[in-house]
Structure 1
Amino acid sequence: MKFILGFNKFKEYLAKLLLSHGLTDIDLSASHKKTGFSVWHINWRRDLNKDFKEDWDSLKREINLYDRALLEKDRLAAKAGLMHASIKIGDLAISPFWSISHDLTKILNNKNYNWPSLGLGYAIPKKYLDEKINEIDQKEWNDLAKIQKILIDLVKSQGVTDEELKRVDKRTGRLIWGIDLNVDFNKVFYEKLLALQIAFEGYEKAFIQEDWRAVRAILQRIRLINFQLYKFLKAIRIALRNARTDERFNWPSFPEDYKVPVHYNYKE
């Protein structure tokens, strides 16, 4: 079975869970009175699959800009591509991954849902987890490998040592460069996406069968995978930011009102 994006179907069945506990469509679109921010970070009205695909395509566009500009030795346009790639990968980290993780934490910690105890040693029944989902179109989702190559080429060009790349921020306990550049970015991302799709479908099956222990356990799994994907993409963003802001890379400063040259056919 091939991989397909499953954010919308999951959102649909998650909304059914909330509505079954007394929430209304108005509640799902509510905003905080003081801040005006949405109560829920998942956008129930939008096509999440489409949004994800559009953000991914935007990331591709930024990487292509960087590659083309580098070939033309246009360091300003290359820097612009690097900067916007960092922004786009941050967008992907927040929505859908952080948004789903955040809202599931709120749901799972809500005592009003009377979640059944999982008990020690509980395992999600295999009937809910379809391991046949095992294939992703590599041509469609290959841009993290390109980002990884860009980062490796940049650090090598300026003699950034392996020791520095492994250095940890004492305050946060995280790598200063965010991520180990030797990790296979594509492999990590693909495996997590596949695990997420399997869990999405498992949640739907368990919900339909009203197996609330399995629902709780699968939602916990979905929350964890989404948070892992959020941290992973955020770490790549840190590496991209470092590669753009570190003085050793000697990027030129953007002049006021800089725009990418028109021959790149780049839309701001």
Structure 2
Amino acid sequence: MLDFNRFKACLMEFLQTHGLTYADLKASHKKTGFSIWHINWKSDLNDDFKEDLDLLKNAIDLYDRALSEKDVLAAKAGLMSASIRTLDLSTSSFWSISHDLTKILNNKNFNWPSIGRSYAIPKEYLDKGISEIDQKELVDLNRIQKILIDLVRSHGVTDEELKRVNKRAKRLIWGIDLNSDFNKIFYEKLLALQIAFDGYEKASIQNDRRAARAILQRIRLINFQLYHFLSAIRIALVRVSVGERFWPSFPENYKIPAHYNYK
């Protein structure tokens, strides 16, 4: 499993050597009450990541089970829940790190060394020996891809519509190419993130600040890409879960039947 905690501990050590205390990392804005930092420094990030994955998997399981029982309302609820869980996963695990690294990398008080365009991260920091990410506890995103493809095909969504672009947002109106391999994209990004996490730890131990800065920039980018990838999947899930062409409306005060044991 991707080790967020080791990266968090290494990053926290860097911040503390530059005068930030643990209280600073947990501080909130006086006016809004929102946390200044978006990484949850006091939480077990590995457990949080696993919990978000499990909740997403449970939502997909609800959809599959409800569909097998021809319970279209519970199936719709499962897809709506999956869209929410995808948002939670993309925000808590990836957007938060990307956001905080932007703040760290732009902080002039940290006296980051300059990095020219020709600079390349030394190979010894990026372990090519890591060839795959442990997928045992990861969610199978291709289950979502299959659900989306089956729904659009069975409801007459044309290839032309799937390729249509929202010009203002500069993205597909469906968020993502539904014919792409969701797992391949997800696992490759997670592998790149794990390699970068390990590389940052090595550069920190060597006190190689140029490499550390460059690797943090890479980590920020990968997290940003993961956030947008999951956000794109969420857009597709929202379109198929709320669109009237796909499902009937919920009756007032609808609740998922108790026999699904879904919270």
Category of TM-score, reference length = shorter chain: over 0.9
Alpha-carbon separation, structure 1, partners of 2:235 and 2:151: 14
Residue 119 of structure 1: aligned partner: 116
Residue 50 of structure 2: aligned partner: 53
Q: Paired residue for 1:38, among 21, 25, 35? A: 35
What are the within-5 Å matches in structure 2 for residues 180-219 of structure 1? 180-219=177-216
Alpha-carbon separation, structure 2, partners of 1:68 and 1:226: 32
Residue 237 of structure 2: aligned partner: 240
Alpha-carbon separation, structure 2, partners of 1:51 and 1:165: 33
Alpha-carbon separation, structure 2, partners of 1:85 and 1:95: 15
Alpha-carbon separation, structure 2, partners of 1:255 and 1:207: 57
Alpha-carbon separation, structure 1, partners of 2:86 and 2:92: 10
C-alpha deviation, 1:256, in angstroms: 2.5
Residue 261 of structure 2: aligned partner: 265
Alpha-carbon separation, structure 2, partners of 1:151 and 1:42: 32
Alpha-carbon separation, structure 1, partners of 2:167 and 2:213: 36
Residue 90 of structure 2: aligned partner: 93
What are the within-5 Å matches in structure 2 for residues 69-148 of structure 1? 69-148=66-145
Alpha-carbon separation, structure 1, partners of 2:33 and 2:164: 40
C-alpha deviation, 1:245, in angstroms: 1.9
Deviations 1:192-221 (A, max 9, x none): 000000000100010111000000000000
Alpha-carbon separation, structure 2, partners of 1:62 and 1:185: 17
Alpha-carbon separation, structure 2, partners of 1:39 and 1:151: 37
Residue 26 of structure 2: aligned partner: 29
Residue 175 of structure 2: aligned partner: 178
Alignment gaps of 5+ in structure 2 = none
Alignment partner of 1:168 is 2:180: no
Alpha-carbon separation, structure 2, partners of 1:119 and 1:180: 35
Q: Secondary structure at the match of 2:172?
A: coil
C-alpha deviation, 1:138, in angstroms: 4.0
Alpha-carbon separation, structure 2, partners of 1:138 and 1:72: 30
Number of aligned residues? 263
Alignment gaps of 5+ in structure 1 = none
C-alpha deviation, 1:254, in angstroms: 1.8
Alpha-carbon separation, structure 1, partners of 2:93 and 2:57: 18
Q: Secondary structure at the match of 1:248?
A: coil
Q: TM-score, normalised by structure 2?
A: 0.98
C-alpha deviation, 1:48, in angstroms: 0.5
Q: Paired residue for 1:19, among 6, 16, 19? A: 16
Given the superposition, is the C-alpha separation of residues 138 and 20 from structure 1 closer, same or farther in structure 2, using an over 3 Å criterion? closer
Residue 226 of structure 1: aligned partner: 223
Alpha-carbon separation, structure 2, partners of 1:220 and 1:80: 38
Q: Secondary structure at the match of 2:19?
A: coil
Query: Root-mean-square deviation (CA), in Å?
Result: 1.0
User: Aligned residues: percent identity?
Assistant: 75
C-alpha deviation, 1:257, in angstroms: 2.4
C-alpha deviation, 1:137, in angstroms: 4.0
